[in-house]
Amino acid sequence: MIYRSRRSLAVIAAALTTALLGLTPSVSTGSAEAVEADTDTAFAPQLVTVDTPTRADKQLLQTLGLDLTEHAGHDYIEVVLHTGSDAAVLKESGLTYDVRIGNLLEREARNNRANAAYAAATLQSPLPSGRDSYRTLPDYNDDMRQLANIRPNIAKVFDLPHPSLDGKAVHGIEIGANVRAPEDGRPVFLLMGLHHAREWPSGELAMEFAYDLVKNYGQDARITGLLDKARVLIVPVVNVDGFDLSRTDGGLVDLREVDDGGTVSILGTPGNAYKRKNCRVVDGQDTPDGTCRAFSATSPGGFGIGIDPNRNYGGFWGGPGASATFADPTYRGAGPFSEPETQNIRELISSRQVTTMISNHTFSNLVLRPNGVHPDTIGPDGNPVGNPPDEEGMRALGAEMTAANGYRNIHGWELYDTTGTTEDWSYNATGGFGFTFEIGPDEFHPPFPQVIDEYLGAGEYAGKGNREAYLDALENAVDTATHSVIRGSAPKGATLRLRKQFATPTWESSFTDTLNTTMQVGDNGRFTWHINQSTRPVVQEKLVEITEDKPVRSETYQGGPTTIGQHVDHPFTITETGIDVLQVDLDWPTPDDLDLEVYKKNADGSLTQVGSSGNFVGEKERAEIAAPATGDYVLRVINFASTSPTYDLTATLFDSTVVSSEEVPGLIENWTLTCEKGGQVLQQVPVIIDRGEQAKIDLSTCINRARNLR
């Protein structure tokens, strides 16, 4: 079933290729595929919770080509099943699951009715903009222009360099005191939304923060002080093609119900309401402008068409959690930064000193920080990826932000392994802190009043919410303890340029990356430039987890004789939370052969294997389970080939500590600073500076040479 599903998508891709080349495709459909198509047509898309009690289960789920959401925990991942084929693939995998929303079409229809009722009853919402409904793509563009027109001294619209595959322009808004003046060395905070098309609240909250800043500059002392010190870049819609399809199709769903609640007709198709990716149809080929909708209609929910922008960034591109299969929802693209959406954000970050960045997504009530893969994952250099060198600082900022919005503060890999994500590239390439917000508890685009609660806070978080979390992040962006500062004197009006070129590692090789940022010296000839550290985190000394010598708890069992082929089960219970490792050792006195299996007991009494060890004759057995959940376990000793099978079985719980790896020493890198006047480079100096450091730069040579230009 897995292969048949993928073959049918391959047929679609081939047909699209011939369409792009102006050919007439010839496709023969057999009766089996016709039956499958009928099944898929009758199937209503569902949201299901898949049980993944082990890391192996998560890895298995990521290989099935299904549409994984960002809603996950230590023992589950929620998945969208778009078709009957998807449901069959999941069943055949052996993974168990529960249906959480049995019909996403009906859910969409109910949300639409709730939104219409709220808008009809509301003159102005509590949001900074007063909006009472989700924006469309033209709404976003109109709002950014309106803010820039109302307060041109603190807001301006900018265009990103690459139009979308469907020919749409991508816009952002820059906010800050005297915003239209040349770059003056202030730190930059970047806030983004809608990498994934169906995640409508991610753009709404970004846009509301823009309204908040523009309206309250000069009125709110905190916001005024921050905008005097920083520039804020907001790109509310990164994936304009995908969002435009999702939003317009989602607004059409209207399941009319008769008095007894039965559905009598579907007046609007869900179409691309739950589309995730962009509008790439064939790798390396553009499509005629305005044709994305027609191509997306060939794939259920539009999810089989396109590249996942949040797997297409260059950092560790092509590694775990990013698919190499086009039809997969997490398809990474033909190469790092192959897509206009990621090219836009890459060039934006590479041309500005972004000291803190947030990429908004939905859903899960999470704040995620680098890295995207488990620290013990062996990376492309043959060493463990480890923890980021700024783990302590990013964890602390994450805790501050989650104290405001009530979300969980975790690493990206604690959701599931991912590579090619926004913050993994931006942080490792620039050193600027990067986070992903997963907004909302339980669905991609909930009724609009929930969006209001997410921004302003509700319940115990009322008056805080993500508004406060964004302000915390903006304060971090201007905090000199979390980035670097260079100062000095230079010719009035001179351009200062910081440049660095390097090889960014992917999971397969590397590519050339360039950071190139500028500022202009003011009339007084003095400059202060807030910048990121000179040495990239990806080449700094790695931090790895080392299991502590002293265990949290240990329990030993002794076993007696069994016959070959039999096994003995020993119960073991974990009550402690936050344990890093469960280590189970099996030892015996003779050079025979015993094997070991470890199971987690489920609520219904069934067993799920979480570890095993089956070494060669005479080799003792050990199984290690990372981050074991609390609950009951079964430790199974199997007599594979032992004639005198007595043994000692020991289960031990360990915590771990993070230390620097002596095997992976770090590098030291420098910025190259040039002082330019009249189009000429008058001085060039290397700048080596760490996070939290401030340095005075001697540009006297530039000053003297500038005098000779007069």
Catalytic residues: 438
| Residue closest to 420 by CA, chosen among 525, 339, 301, 533 | 339
Q: What is the DSSP letter of 542?
A: P
Residues whose CB falls within 8 Å of the CB of residue 100, separated by 6 or more in sequence, listed in order: 46, 47, 48, 49, 78
Q: What are the b/e assignments for 667-686, b being 16+ CB within 10 Å?
A: eeeebebbbbbeeeebbebe
What are the tokens at 245?
């399809």
| Residue closest to 425 by CA, chosen among 321, 538, 333 | 538
How far is residue 524's CA from residue 263's CA, in Å, rounded to a whole number?
Answer: 72
| Residue closest to 424 by CA, chosen among 482, 499, 511, 357 | 357
How far is residue 80's CA from residue 87's CA, in Å, rounded to a whole number?
Answer: 9
DSSP H or E segment with residue 95 = none
How far is residue 544's CA from residue 237's CA, in Å, rounded to a whole number?
Answer: 36
Q: Side chain identity at 5, as an amino acid letter? A: S
Question: CB of 547 within 8 A of CB of 624?
Answer: no
For residues 519, 521, 526, 527, the Cα torsion angle rounded to the nearest 10 degrees is -10
- Residue 349 CB coordination number (10 Å): 24
- Residue 692 CB coordination number (10 Å): 14
Class of residue 656 by CB neighbours under 10 A (exposed 0-12, middle 13-18, buried 19+): middle
Q: Rounded to whole angstroms, what are the CA distances from 106 to 195, 445, 473?
A: 25, 14, 37
What are the tokens at 364?
């899960």
Task: Map residue 199 onto helix, strand or coil.
Answer: coil
Q: Side chain identity at 97, as an amino acid letter? A: Y
Residue 680: how many CA atoms within 13 Å on its side-chain side?
Answer: 10
Q: DSSP labels for 646-666?
A: -EEEEEEEE-EEEEE-TTS--
Task: Map residue 134 onto helix, strand or coil.
Answer: coil
Question: CB of 319 within 8 A of CB of 413?
Answer: no
Bridge-partner residues for 569, per DSSP?
Answer: 636
Question: CB of 465 within 8 A of CB of 450?
Answer: no
The β-bridge relationship of strands 188-192 and 354-361 is parallel
Task: Map residue 187 onto helix, strand or coil.
Answer: coil
Q: Side chain identity at 428, as an amino acid letter? A: N
Q: What is the DSSP letter of 591?
A: S
What are the tokens at 372?
């995207």
How far is residue 483's CA from residue 479's CA, in Å, rounded to a whole number?
Answer: 7
Q: What is the DSSP letter of 251?
A: T
- Residue 7 CB coordination number (10 Å): 12
Class of residue 265 by CB neighbours under 10 A (exposed 0-12, middle 13-18, buried 19+): exposed
